[in-house]
Chain A
Amino acid sequence: MNAHPFFLGHVWLIPLFPLLTAAAMLFIGRRLNNSAVNALCCGSVFASFIFSVGAFLQLIALPSEERLVTSVLFEWIPALPFHMLNGRLANFVADFGFQIDPLSCVMILIVTGVGFLIHVYSTGYMAHEGGYYRFFGYLNLFMFSMLILVLANNLVMLFVGWEGVGTCSYLLIGFYFHRKSASDAGKKAFIVNRIGDAGFLLGIFLTSALLGTIRFAEIGPALAAGHFAMGDPLLTAIALLFFVGATGKSAQIPLYVWLPDAMEGPTPVSALIHAATMVTAGVYMVTRTNAIYQLAPKAMALVALVGAVTALFAASIGVVQTDIKKVLAYSTVSQLGYMFLACGVGAFTAGIFHLMTHAFFKGLLFLAAGSVIHALSGEQDMRKMGALSKKIPVTYWTMLIATLAIAGIFPFAGFLSKDLILGKAYEKDALLWAIGYFTAGMTAFYMFRLIFMTFHGTSRVDHDVEHHIHESPKSMLIPLLILAGLSIAGGWLSWPEIFGGNSRFVRFLEPVIATTQLARPEPTHGPGSPHGEIYLMLLSEGLVVLGICFAWYLYIKRTELPGKIAKSLGGFYRLVYHKYYVDQLYDALFVNRAKDLGLALGVFDTTVINGVGVNGAGWLTRFISSLSMWWDTWIVDGSIRLGSRIVWLFSYPVRLIQDGLVQSYMLLIVVGLIGFLGYYFYLGHHAVR
């Protein structure tokens, strides 16, 4: 591969466009009016989308085996030699490099496409908010980070994007930073993510030490060359560490707690980051490194289990939530669980397929919810909604389409992707399938509960809000419509063979999935026989319809029942309503302990470091200086004064003699005379003798 075709060779432009406009917002955003901001920020994302489409088209022009294009911009971390675990010498190199293959192509199309629609939506939704340019600047910065993440050709650069989206998530969740709850939610998101990131980093280091490389393209050959056995403990360790990072970023148990709180951010943010793109980074990462996972079946089993349990757990909480966005948040956690379930059972392509359809319908759900909130002047509590279907019809119909998709009604997008996952799960483990199956029923139930409570029944809207109910502007409605279309048709990209399709999407992604001689080749068809697959489909459709009817019964027909059921379930209801008190548990175990540590260190700082160290050093200095002063005064000065005092001792008496009186001088003369005569006597005495 020498000269790349234009779009493939200029892949680096795709993240660059939003980066440039983000920088523009940073430097001159303040002085721009809304239209200018719109033109720049939406324009750059659109440009990235065009380039993504171009790259995709040029990629499929290549034969299937050659669909891996790398372009390195520059060597970021130069080669640092080190010793691998097996003693061989290797180089730690991190390029600033991009990799286009089917997987990253799918991701950039989703990110730029859905991202662009959400940008357009935001121009309407945020039109009257303060900090308009700041919002779009952050949004574009996020686009840049996410694109870096999905286009990276090595683990370290992926991590750069990973951290970048985490930062932008923090910035955007806490966009209304005047609200303490918002800034707290931003901090929570970032800190919880950080825990996952620690695991991820350890995984990267271990990968480097074990395999000698961190480039995705080289991991496969390295694994083969290393002759690793299936279930190798180190590989399992790497897989688990990566998964820790994934649970943080993609909100699985136990690090999901930040996602519901993240609803404090503006609704477009929830749509883009916490539904369509950022939270899917974990799924992407696991799929990227599937070669490692496939050699660690225990890790994959754990991934599947955690995914399934999370799906069920989150769905159960979603059933009793009253805030429209919170329902959608728990729904996201639940659907992400499905994606991990898929990866865990080896159906990586199914997981990515569901990622794509989820981006469409979840994004649509959030945007439509935003439209509802906008219509109701900020109301988010479903208990204060109702009978809106006629008043905001476009919003209603698009949201209904999305709900049908998420519930899994044939032939909407969600059905095909979810069904693919359930099929693969059934092949692996009946229990996993059962959990997923039951959860699908719950999903249908609580999503239609949302629809019925929001749009149907009697209006429970506040009186003063009721007068202002209006449909959203076109800038918000058009993205809704486009996403609705995708929610209907998105699944058709991988029309299953049993219905006469050719599973094109799944086949497209196949080269990305590693096939080692030890791993079973991933089947792209359903369980055993075509008949088995149809049975499963009918089973799940049946449960879904049952769920919808149950929801209709409780929320349209006999609306007094939910209250009664809640009362009769008493404690259990309260447990679920309070999200199983997980936040409180974490607070007691970790958060408050960390705060205590901080306080203790603070006390240590004041008393020991300040008291002993600083004040002590001060005291010591003063003490030493007082010693010096003593020495100086008494020894140094003293010796000088001693000299002068000795002189004085001799001179003082002499001075006293001089009193100015003549008579005392004469007395001294007499004394002298006596002395003289005495001397002569003495001499005479001795001379005689």
Chain B
Amino acid sequence: MNATIPTDYYLWLSLALFTIGVIGVLTRRNVIIILMVFSRMWGSVDGQVFAIFVITDAAAEAAVGLGIILAFFRNRETLLADEMDMLKW
């Protein structure tokens, strides 16, 4: 049954979803959305076992990421990526 759908279509799909994800990560200001989109990027990965691990990773990173956001929010009262510029010297 899979033969009816050419393999590369899946790749196109993945690529599309990944691209959307990249754009979203790079362009959205709200960090939560960034994080969500980041997670979505991983969803476009194929290969079962690999996918399982990817999901695991995604979960871990989502958890920690959200924790960071919370901590950041408590310190700075902002959710805007533009204003989170402490990652420099």
Residues of A within 8 A of B (CB): 658-663, 665-667, 670
Chain B residues, Cβ within 8 Å of A661 = 81-82, 84-85, 87
> Does A667 lie within 8 Å of B26, measured CB to CB?
yes
A665 to chain B, nearest CB (A): 7
| B23 and chain A: residue at smallest CB distance | A670
Count, A-B residue pairs, CB within 8 A: 28
Is A660 within 8 A of B25, CB to CB? no
Cα-based distance from A663 to B81 in the complex (angstroms):
8
Q: Which residue of B lies closest to A655 (CB)?
A: B89
CB distance from B33 to the nearest CB of A (A): 12
On chain B, the residues within 8 Å of A667 by CB distance are 26
Query: In whole angstroms, how far apart are the Cα atoms of A661 and B80 in the complex?
Result: 10
User: Judging by beta carbons under 8 Å apart, are A658 and B88 in contact?
Assistant: yes
B residues in contact with A662, CB < 8 Å: 81, 84, 87
Which B residues contact A (CB, under 8 angstroms)? Answer: 22, 25-27, 34, 81-82, 84-89
The docked-state distance in angstroms from the alpha carbon of A665 to that of B88 is: 11
A667 closest partner in B (C-beta) = B26
CA distance A663 to B28 in the complex (A): 9
Query: Which residue of chain B has the shortest Cβ distance to A665 in the bound complex?
Result: B87
Name the residue of chain B whose CB is nearest to the CB of A664: B26
User: Contact at A663–B89, with CB atoms within 8 Å?
Assistant: no
Which residue from chain B places its CB closest to the CB of A657 in the assembled complex?
A: B88
C-alpha spacing A665/B82, complex, angstroms: 12
Once A663-B26, A667-B26, A670-B22 are accepted as A-B contacts, the answer to whether A658 and B89 lie under 8 Å apart by CB is yes
| Residues of chain A with a CB closer than 8 A to B81's CB | 661-663
Inter-chain contact A663/B25, CB cutoff 8 Å: yes
The 7 closest A-B pairs by CB, nearest first: A660-B85, A660-B88, A660-B87, A658-B88, A661-B85, A663-B81, A660-B86
Residues of chain A with a CB closer than 8 A to B88's CB: 658-660
**Which residues on the A side are within 8 Å of B27 (C-beta)?**
663
Question: Can you name 18 A-B pairs with beta carbons within 8 Å?
Answer: A658-B88, A658-B89, A659-B85, A660-B84, A660-B85, A660-B87, A660-B88, A661-B81, A661-B82, A661-B85, A661-B87, A663-B26, A663-B34, A663-B81, A665-B87, A666-B25, A666-B26, A670-B26
Min distance, Cβ A563 to any Cβ of chain B, angstroms: 117
A667 to B84, CA, bound (A): 16
Within the assembled complex, what's the spacing in Å between the Cα atoms of A659 and B84?
10
User: Which residues from chain B contact A666 at a C-beta distance below 8 Å?
Assistant: 25-26
Closest chain A residue, CB of each to CB of B81: A663
A665 to B85: give the CA distance in the assembly, Å.
11
Q: Which residues of A contact B22 (CB under 8 A)?
A: 670
A659 to B27, alpha carbons, bound, how many Å?
16
Nearest Cβ on chain A to B14's Cβ, whole angstroms:
16
A663–B26 alpha-carbon span in the complex (Å):
5
Complex Cα gap A658–B87 (Å)? 8
- Closest residue of chain B to A661 (Cβ to Cβ) is B85
Q: How far is the CA of A660 from the CA of B76 in the complex (A)?
A: 15
Q: Which residues of A contact B82 (CB under 8 A)?
A: 661
Q: In the docked arrangement, what's the CA distance between A667 and B27, Å?
A: 9
CB contacts (< 8 Å) of B25 on chain A: these are 663, 666
Q: How far in angstroms is the closest Cβ of chain A from B32?
A: 13
A190 to B84, CA, bound (A): 101
For the complex, give the distance between the alpha carbons of A571 and B26 in Å: 126
Compute how far the CA of A95 lies from the CA of B84 in the bound complex, rounded to whole angstroms.
108
**Cα of A659 to Cα of B25 in the assembled complex, Å:** 17
Tell me which of B27, B81, B87 has the highest count of chain A C-beta atoms within 10 A of its own C-beta.
Answer: B87
* Residue in A658, A662, A663, A667 with the greatest tally of chain B CB atoms within 10 Å: A663
Complex CA distance for A378 and B87, rounded to whole angstroms? 111
| B85 surroundings in chain A (CB, below 8 A) | 659-661
**Supplied contacts A661-B81, A667-B26, 11 more A-B pairs, CB within 8 Å:** A658-B89, A659-B85, A660-B85, A660-B86, A660-B88, A661-B85, A662-B81, A662-B87, A665-B87, A670-B22, A670-B26
